[in-house]
Amino acid sequence: MKVRPLSLLLALAFSSPLVAADPVKPFNGKDLSGWETKPGKGTNKWTTALASVDPANEKLLQARGFGIGFADGLALVNLAAKHGDSVDLYTTQKFGNCRIELEVMVPKGSNSGIYVMGEYEVQVFDSFGKAKMEPSDMGAIYGAAVPSVNASKAPGQWQRFVIEWQAPRFDAAGKKIANAKFLKVELNGQLLHKDLEMPGPTPSGVTGKEAPEGPIMFQGDHGPVAYRNIVITPM
pLDDT, tens digit only, all 235 positions of the chain: 444 454 444 444 444 345 668 999 999 988 999 999 998 788 999 999 999 999 999 999 999 876 544 445 699 999 999 989 999 999 999 999 999 999 999 999 999 999 999 999 999 999 999 999 999 999 999 999 999 999 999 999 999 999 999 999 999 999 999 999 999 999 999 999 999 999 999 999 999 999 999 999 999 999 999 999 999 999 9
Q: Are 34 and 66 in contact (CB under 8 A)?
A: no
The count of C-alpha atoms lying within 13 angstroms of the C-alpha of 212, restricted to the half-sphere facing its C-beta, is 8
- State the pLDDT at residue 18: 55
Collapsed DSSP state (helix, strand, coil) of residue 64: strand
Q: Are 93 and 215 in contact (CB under 8 A)?
A: yes
- State the pLDDT at residue 19: 62
The DSSP line for 98-128 is: EEEEEEEE--TT-EEEEEETTTEEEEEE--T
- State the pLDDT at residue 222: 94
Query: How far is it, in rounded angstroms, from Cα 234 to Cα 77?
Result: 25
- CA 146-227-101 angle, to 5 degrees, is 65
- State the pLDDT at residue 65: 76
- CA 45-114-86 angle, to 5 degrees, is 20
Range 19-234 classified under CATH 3.40.50.150: no
Sort 33 into a burial class: Cβ within 10 Å, 0-12 / 13-18 / 19+: exposed
- State the pLDDT at residue 231: 97
Q: Are 119 and 201 in contact (CB under 8 A)?
A: yes
Collapsed DSSP state (helix, strand, coil) of residue 151: coil
pTM for the complete prediction?
0.89
Q: Where are the domains of the chain?
A: 19-234
Gyration radius (Cα) of the chain, Å: 19
Helix (H) or strand (E) holding 15: helix 6-15
